[in-house]
């Protein structure tokens, strides 16, 4: 029934070429969608990036039984992990348990995950011939397990909160596909862009094409909103960001925004907030290197902002967290705002501290 409603409104929407009236979808808690729509709310919605993760003992139980990609590729496990923070922490949105690196995997690259070391891609992209070997057209169909996990999660959520789908931005995925592992500087990835721009743009375009198909399928499977992660966007200066990241983000947002609101999280990219706003994203994610006041000013007070609590600050005592959260909401304002961290939660955060963060938003009262 919901799918029918959605496809009908999608068709109508494509004709009108206007964003969907987001708040009209049937959800018991639609604070997130209202905030994305700029509608008034009694308090801002709250969720945490990486909220399904290693700080939760219940996540560790499943992590100890099944390896990373088994958890990601088994819809029942992915759905169970996605629901954990809803039941245990009480966030106002669920984000699908998956990973941005499933896209390079679907494009034919080997990706493994190593405890303490992070991801490894042993056969990296080095030249145009490597780019030409990648699977593009059928790649999104290799991710059926993601769509199945979305459908199952939506069923199990029973409309309690919206479900966020996601993907990595093309530049952030290129980082891993060229570097082969995590890095502080991703200098090999940047050098690839500088020395082989033609191959780099071909790769960025291939990732973009796959990502658009992938996100469209996530929407069909039932996600209520999308987040695009450009976690390494901040490695570029403004000029190079405009060459190697922004145009591809723009294509993706433009291709899906009429069907589903998009939150654009580009870490460290405060220099291009106005350009990110122009992509048509419904909201921009902000990290703690920018102030709420500055971010509001740069975006002309006219877009929903999400963030920006330093996840490490969750190591403070709970009363300090509550004070900080109140100050953060005072600074951003309650409308056009989604309370969140400025990056993913880290494994050594006590569960009570994560709960205190969420609770402080729920108890917020403006003075
Ligand atoms: O936010 C959520 O709760 C949803 C799940 C999610 C994961 N990864 C699960 C995960 C999301 C949205 C991601 C996105 C992701 N993956 C990003 C962008 C966001 C960001 O943090 O900047 C990036 C860069 C990746 C790539 C990736 N995956 C790395 C670098 C690592 C290793 C670092 C680490 O935290 O261990 C992963 C592994 C990963 N993805 C874990 C989780 C819960 C931890 C591994 C495990 O629990 O076994």
3-state secondary structure 254-289: HHHCCCCCEEEEECCCHHHHHHHHHCCCCEEEECCC
Domain count along the chain: 1
Task: State whether the beta carbon of 101 lies less than 6 angstroms from ligand 1.
Answer: yes
Closest C-alpha to ligand 1, atom 29: 118
Protein residue closest via CA to atom 41 of ligand 1: 53
Residue nearest to atom 24 of ligand 1 (CA): 231
Q: Are 304 and 38 in contact (CB under 8 A)?
A: yes
Measured over the CA atoms of residue 91, residue 94, residue 95 and residue 96, the dihedral's sign is: positive
Q: Please work out whether the CB of residue 232 comes within 6 Å of at least one atom of ligand 1.
A: no
Determine, yes or no, domain membership for 272. yes
- C-alpha pair distances (Å), 39 with each of 13, 44, 46, 228: 20, 11, 15, 22
Residue with CA at minimum distance from ligand 1 atom 43: 53
The pLDDT value given to residue 23 = 38
Domain extent for 186: 29-362
Contact by Cβ (8 Å): 244, 207:
no
Give domain status of residue 16, yes or no.
no
Which residue, among 365, 204, 265, 292, has the nearest Cα to 50 in the 3D structure? Answer: 265
* Reported pTM: 0.93
Structure tokens at 116: 């303490």
Q: Which atom of ligand 1 is nearest to the CA of 59?
A: 47
Specify the residue with its C-alpha closest to ligand 1, atom 46.
68
User: By alpha-carbon position, which residue is closest to atom 32 of ligand 1?
Assistant: 118
Closest CA to 250 of 264, 233, 269: 264
Neighbours of 151 (CB within 10 A): 16
Q: What is the SS3 string spanning the chain?
A: CHHHHHHHHHHHHHHHCCCCCHHHCCCCCCHHHHHHHCCCCCCCCECCCCCCCCCCHHHHHHHHHCCHHHHHHCHHHHHHHHHHHHHHCCCCCEECCCCCCHHHHHCCCCCEEECCCEEECCCCCCCHHHHHHCCCCCHHHHHHHHHHHHHHHHHHHCCCCCEEEEEECHHHHHHHHHHCECCCCCHHHHHHHHHCHHHHHHHHHHHHHHHHHHHHHHHHHCCCEEEEEECCHHHCCHHHHHHHCHHHHHHHHHHHCCCCCEEEEECCCHHHHHHHHHCCCCEEEECCCCCHHHHHHHCCCCCEEEEEECHHHHHCCHHHHHHHHHHHHHHHCCCCEEEEECCCCCCCCCHHHHHHHHHHHHCCCCC
Angle at 335 between CA 332 and CA 341, to 5 degrees: 50
Residue 84 CB less than 6 A away from ligand 1:
no
Count of beta carbons in the 10 Å neighbourhood of residue 351:
14
Give the CATH number, domain containing residue 124: 3.20.20.210
Residue whose Cα lies nearest atom 28 of ligand 1: it is 99
| pLDDT of the chain, 367 residues: tens digit per residue | 344 444 444 444 444 344 444 434 589 999 999 999 999 999 999 999 999 999 999 999 999 999 999 999 999 999 999 999 999 999 999 999 999 999 999 999 999 999 989 999 999 999 999 999 999 999 999 999 999 999 999 999 999 999 999 999 999 999 999 999 999 999 999 999 999 999 999 999 999 999 999 999 999 999 999 999 999 999 999 999 999 999 999 999 999 999 999 999 999 999 999 999 999 999 999 999 999 999 999 999 999 999 999 999 999 999 999 999 999 999 999 999 999 999 999 999 999 999 999 999 999 987 7
How far apart (Å, rounded) are the C-alpha atoms in residues 287 and 232? 12
Residue 1 lies in a domain: no
Atom 3 of ligand 1, residue of closest alpha carbon: 50
CA–centroid distance, 98 to ligand 1, in Å, is 8
- Assess if residue 48 is contained within a domain: yes
CA of 99 to the centre of ligand 1 (A): 6
CA max distance for the chain: 61
Q: Is 108 in the pocket of ligand 1 (CB under 6 A)?
A: no
Predicted confidence at residue 281, as pLDDT, reads 98
Centre of ligand 1 to C-alpha 119, Å, is 9
Residue 208 lies in a domain: yes
Q: Which residues of 244-265 are buried (b: 16+ CB within 10 A; e: fewer)?
A: bbbebbbbbbebbbebbbbbbb
Residue 10 lies in a domain: no
Domain for residue 11, yes or no? no
Residue 2 lies in a domain: no
pLDDT of residue 367: 74
* 229 CA closest ligand 1 atom index: 18
Residue 248 · residue 279 · CB < 8 Å: no
Q: CA 83 to CA 205: how far, in whole Å?
A: 34
Test site for ligand 1: of 99, 226, 265, 310, most ligand atoms within 8 A of the Cβ = 99
């Amino acid at each position: 029934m919901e799918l029918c409603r959605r496809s009908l409104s999608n068709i109508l929407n494509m004709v009108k070429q206007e964003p969907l009236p987001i708040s009209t979808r049937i959800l018991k808690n639609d604070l997130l969608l209202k905030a994305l729509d700029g509608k008034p709310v009694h308090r801002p919605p709250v969720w945490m990036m990486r909220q399904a993760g290693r700080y939760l003992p219940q996540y560790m139980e499943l992590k100890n039984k099944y390896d990373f990609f088994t958890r990601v590729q088994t819809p029942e496990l992915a759905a169970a992990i996605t629901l954990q923070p809803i039941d245990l922490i009480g966030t106002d949105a669920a984000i699908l348990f998956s990973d941005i690196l499933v896209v390079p995997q679907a494009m034919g690259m080997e990706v493994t995950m190593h405890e303490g070391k992070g991801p490894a891609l042993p056969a990296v992209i080095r030249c145009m011939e490597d780019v030409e070997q990648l699977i593009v057209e059928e790649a999104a169909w290799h991710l059926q397990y993601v769509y199945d996990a979305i459908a199952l999660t939506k069923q199990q959520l029973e409309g309690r909160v919206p479900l966020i789908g996601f993907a990595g931005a093309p530049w952030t995925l290129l980082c891993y596909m060229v570097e082969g592992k995590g890095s502080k500087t991703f200098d090999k990835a940047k050098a690839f862009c500088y020395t082989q721009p033609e191959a780099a743009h071909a790769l960025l375009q291939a990732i973009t094409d796959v990502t658009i198909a992938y996100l469209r399928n996530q929407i069909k499977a039932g996600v209520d909103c999308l987040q695009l992660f450009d976690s390494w966007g901040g490695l570029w200066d403004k000029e190079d960001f405009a060459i190697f990241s922004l145009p591809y983000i723009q294509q993706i947002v433009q291709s899906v925004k009429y069907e589903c609101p998009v939150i654009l999280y580009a870490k460290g990219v405060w220099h291009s907030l106005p350009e990110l706003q122009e992509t048509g994203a419904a909201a921009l994610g902000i990290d703690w290197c920018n102030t709420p006041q500055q971010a509001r000013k740069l975006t002309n007070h006219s877009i929903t902002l999400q963030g920006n609590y330093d996840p490490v600050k969750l190591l403070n005592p709970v009363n300090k967290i509550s004070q900080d959260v109140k100050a953060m909401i005072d600074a951003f304002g309650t409308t056009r705002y989604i309370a969140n961290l400025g990056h993913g939660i880290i494994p050594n955060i006590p569960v009570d501290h994560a709960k205190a963060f969420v609770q402080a938003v729920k108890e917020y009262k403006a003075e």
